[in-house]
Amino acid sequence: MTNRFSRTGAVVLYHLVNNGVEIAAVVTPLVRYKSGGLFGSVVQLFRRRGVRFAAITLTGIAVSLLRIRLSRIPGLRRLLGPPWSADEVAVPPGTPRLSPPDVNAQACIDEIAALQPDLLVIGISERIVRAPLLAAMRYGGVNLHPAPLPKYRGPDPLYWQMAHRETRGAVTVHYVTPVIDGGNILAQEFFDLDPSGTERAFKRKVDAAAPIAMMRALEMVEAGLPGTVQNETEATYFHERPRGW
């Protein structure tokens, strides 16, 4: 499961497919605020996050939609380079692509459970997964978080690491539990950060490290290993970045 327009989620899915991991389904939840409709969601995005953030987000979505169309033209997929969206990733024929409004709705859970999946793999998603959905999986779920957990739990971890001028970043893959970003750690991949660098450069490092951490984590799940308990005395949690940033 990943945001439809998450490059990190797309890169992780691409590597899973190309490393022979069997994909039961690709789940990309619909992006909707409480208003429900697309227009209302865009209006609320501007109101909640400011013009700058909303404009960058919507531009990225527009480019991703164009890339998705181009990727379906024979011969162009390779020229586009690494995928920007899960929709660009070629999965085996017959693999369901699900875009539910609510992944925790019973109808969605029933549809996923019918596929008898072993594990829910989350590659960047703001959706909180509830216990009934996890119970549909043989081994529960794992989540990829672009921060050195237990530090920087919560949304917008890239922004907050840059705001605190961190010199070392990481991606962490952990088991999903009721505690947000609080499950046992399965794998972490660290990298150096330039405190004066851009968020775009930071994201490139995340995209490079994410598939490595995820493949290591899946090996641990397959081996039945419990992972490492997070040190709660070191845990920090941050909310959404300030409006407009």
pLDDT digits (tens, 9 = 90+) for 109-131: 999 999 999 999 999 888 889 99
Predicted TM-score of the model (pTM): 0.89
The pLDDT assigned to 44 comes to: 73
Bridge-based pairing state of the strands 141-145 and 168-175: antiparallel
The pLDDT assigned to 37 comes to: 59
Q: What's the mean pLDDT when you consider all of the chain? A: 90
pLDDT one-digit tens code per residue, 21-39: 999 999 998 765 444 555 6
Instruction: Answer for the pair 83, 11: CB distance below 8 angstroms, yes or no.
Output: yes
**Percentage of the chain modeled with pLDDT above 70:** 94
The pLDDT assigned to 109 comes to: 96
Residues in the chain: 245
The pLDDT assigned to 38 comes to: 59
Q: Where does residue 107 fall: left (phi above 0), alpha (psi -120 to 50 degrees), or beta otherwise?
A: alpha
| pLDDT over threshold 90, residue 10 | yes
Residue ranges per domain, the chain?
7-234
**Rounded alpha-carbon distances, angstroms, from residue 169 to 78, 190, 205, 206, 215:** 30, 6, 9, 8, 19
CA–CA distance, 145 with 224 (Å, rounded to integer): 21
The pLDDT assigned to 82 comes to: 84
> Which residue, chain included where needed, has tokens 């925790």?
104
CA–CA distance, 114 with 107 (Å, rounded to integer): 11
Q: Which CATH class is domain 7-234?
A: alpha beta
**Rounded alpha-carbon distances, angstroms, from residue 5 to 78, 82, 124, 179, 204:** 19, 13, 10, 25, 15
- Quick one: average pLDDT of 72-84? 81
Q: Which residues of 193-218 are buried (b: 16+ CB within 10 A; e: fewer)?
A: beeeeeeeebeebbbebbbebbbebb
